Amino acid sequence: MNPFFEKFDTPFEAIPFDKIKNEHYLPALEKAIVDAKAEIEAIKNNTEEETFENVIEAFDKVGLLLDTVAYTFSNLTSAETNDEMTEIDKVFSPKLTEFGNDVTLDAGLFAKIKKVWDKKDSLNLTGEQMTLLEKNYKSFTRNGALLSDEKKDKLRAIDTELSTLGIQFSDNVLKETNSFEMVLDNKDDLAGLPEGVIEAAAMTATEKGHEGKWVFTLQYPSYVPFVTYASNRALREKMSRAFASKCCKGDERDNQEIVKRIANLRFERANLLGYKTHADFVLEERMAQNADNVFTLLNKLKDKGLPAAKAHVVEVADYAKQLDGIEELMPWDYGYYFEKLKKERYSIDDEMLKPYFKLENVIDGVFKVANKLYGLTFEERHDIPKYHKDVMTYEVKDEDGKHISLFYADFFPRAGKRGGAWMTMFREQHQHHGKDVRPLISNVCNFTKPTETKPSLLTFGEVTTLFHEFGHGLHGMLSNCKYKSLAGTNVFWDFVELPSQVLENWAYEKECLDLFAKHYQTGELIPEELVQKLKDSANFGEGYMTIRQLTFGLLDMAWHSGNPSDISDVMAFEAKATESVKLLPKIPGTSSSCAFSHIFAGGYSAGYYSYKWAEVLDADAFEYFKENGIFNKEIGKKFRDNVLSRGGSEHPMELYKKFRGAEPNTDALLRRAGLI
């Protein structure tokens, strides 16, 4: 029996990963699509007068089985995939896309929705109901409901091809990342590397059949420490070139043609729907509203950040020349000399901080923050099925003991997991037949694994990553909406990063760090002077980091705010698009676009700017907390009630103003960054 076809006999009806096999996915998808189509036919065939309840509300309830199957499969293709799942995905994703098109291009269904839309002003709808109606109507019109049959067929073909190309792009990046190994057998080549990094490389070597040697990979916990600390410049260059040339070497894993094709299909799709560019299509449903507003933000930050960034790079280059005679600072030099200069100037580096950031303690710390702000408690459960032994599962309860959510924490890299860090869900919060269905939320990261002699000790960057993803997690866990398509993180894309980015701020505060930052050997709390050094050094290189983020944002907008049809050379186009913010020499044969999963496989197309947009919000929001105390329960309740629990039930600026009392001010971000 296919486990998807039975009621899940698990605590909280959690996904029974222990029973699901690869052969279950496609039959489950096919049945789920048949069921969803039948539910839609019932809406269309209802002869009663169209109402909000029998059309819009009924449509929101369509496809619960489909959601479960799709969430489960797509999450595992990112976190625990294999070659068989990749092959299944080549059928699974196009089928899902085809079904999505069948729905949004269904003239009969749209006619029902339009009848409700046309009389919306007389229906006395709540704010959440009006938002759902508007979202549904726009979803149909923005996805081809008003097109002719011929153009609808063309749209279907474009969407199917885009789905296939996205899978191929991701698969190429994953395989390219996994295929690179730098095997070292000379201990001198390890000079400068921290002991924990060396030990982890020895473990990797053993796992990969190179006993007695050291292996470094392009996984972040291996790559980043190597290019930051390794004294051997030639090996840093080798690693850096391998990382920057992923999927642009002209071989079977090259993504250059895929990138161009995706950009052109998106442009063609936007034109078909009546929009000038893909960016115009995307930004209509964002807080930014249009490309001009995006460029205004990016250019304002560029004007403030670029002089500081250029002066900083000169400073690091001078230091490298003085220390080691480096004549030209290259991309594989910047991190190495930046870290040395920061340590010399502020007497601090990641290796000094890591002993205070044992992974288990950081997890406990972020749980305590959620308890102090929102009254939540987290109890580890060992009776919840999981998809990999490394995953930890927790039941989340409110302060009155009421069940809030399940939380899955998956923190270590492995061959079947893509790089990076993300939050996702296996079930959205929603109300169904009067019952509040609580969510299944997951955080997935790639942190340094424990070794034989050391636990998993996080860099401070990994600490803020954990806080960031947990902020997204809270947005999903604390959702209290009626409709699943408005719940949790179903918000405008440039608002979704607020809950995640604002939580990072707590990690810099001694009052918060004292909850969890204790030395893994001695138990000593992180010293005040070390926290002060952390704060003092936090803005060192901030101009550079600002420009680095703007580089990605500008590259994304370059691909999507114009006509890409005349782009023949990906690398040349990329160089031109980012010329105004170039800080280090461009290396021939490298490309950001070819491994830029955020925009070519991850939903951030014409939206990468949203990290900076949300930084404006988060800096302004955290100033409010700081003015009243970072663990002020009253402010925490306002944030929970007006942001975390409300999902996309209202326009995000209205939600923000209810929390803050006013629109955000960009000066808060510039103050925090030390740029004004």
Q: Is 488 left (phi over 0), alpha (psi -120 to 50) or beta?
A: left
Per-residue pLDDT tens over the stretch 113-131: 999 999 999 999 999 999 9
Which residue in the list 428, 469, 509, 615 is annotated as catalytic?
A: 469
Yes or no: say if 169 and 258 are a contact pair by the CB < 8 Å rule.
Answer: yes
Yes or no: say if 398 and 433 are a contact pair by the CB < 8 Å rule.
Answer: no
Share of the chain above pLDDT 70, in %: 100
41, pLDDT greater than 90: yes
479, pLDDT greater than 90: yes
Average pLDDT over residues 164-193: 96
Q: Cα(591)–Cα(567) distance, rounded to whole angstroms?
A: 14
Q: Cα(126)–Cα(454) distance, rounded to whole angstroms?
A: 55
pTM for this one? 0.86
Per-residue pLDDT tens over the stretch 616-663: 999 999 999 999 999 999 999 999 999 999 999 999 999 999 999 999
676, pLDDT greater than 80: no
- Give me the phi and psi of 482, to 5 degrees please: -85, -35
Per-residue pLDDT tens over the stretch 424-463: 999 999 999 899 999 999 999 999 889 888 999 999 999 9
Residue 51 to residues 41, 59, 137, 277: CA-CA distances in angstroms? 16, 12, 14, 35
- Give me the phi and psi of 357, to 5 degrees please: -125, 55
Yes or no: say if 233 and 221 are a contact pair by the CB < 8 Å rule.
Answer: no
44, pLDDT greater than 80: yes
Domain boundaries, the chain: 3-104+106-146, 180-244, 355-538
Active site residue 30: no
Per-residue pLDDT tens over the stretch 519-578: 999 999 999 999 999 988 988 999 999 999 999 999 999 999 999 999 999 999 999 999
**DSSP code of 518?**
B
Q: Cα(231)–Cα(582) distance, rounded to whole angstroms?
A: 25
Q: Tell me the DSSP string of 175-234.
A: HHHHH--EEE--GGGGTT--HHHHHHHHHHHHHTT-TTSEEE-SSHHHHHHHHHH---HH
Q: How confident is the prediction for the chain on average, in pLDDT? A: 95
| pLDDT classification of 222: cutoffs 50, 70, 90 | very high
95, pLDDT greater than 90: yes
Topology alike, domains 3-104+106-146 and 355-538:
no
Residue 26 to residues 17, 32, 70, 71, 149: CA-CA distances in angstroms? 16, 10, 10, 13, 29
Q: Cα(220)–Cα(413) distance, rounded to whole angstroms?
A: 9
Please give the class, per CATH, of domain 3-104+106-146.
mainly alpha
Q: Cα(464)–Cα(138) distance, rounded to whole angstroms?
A: 36
CATH assignment of 355-538?
1.10.1370.40
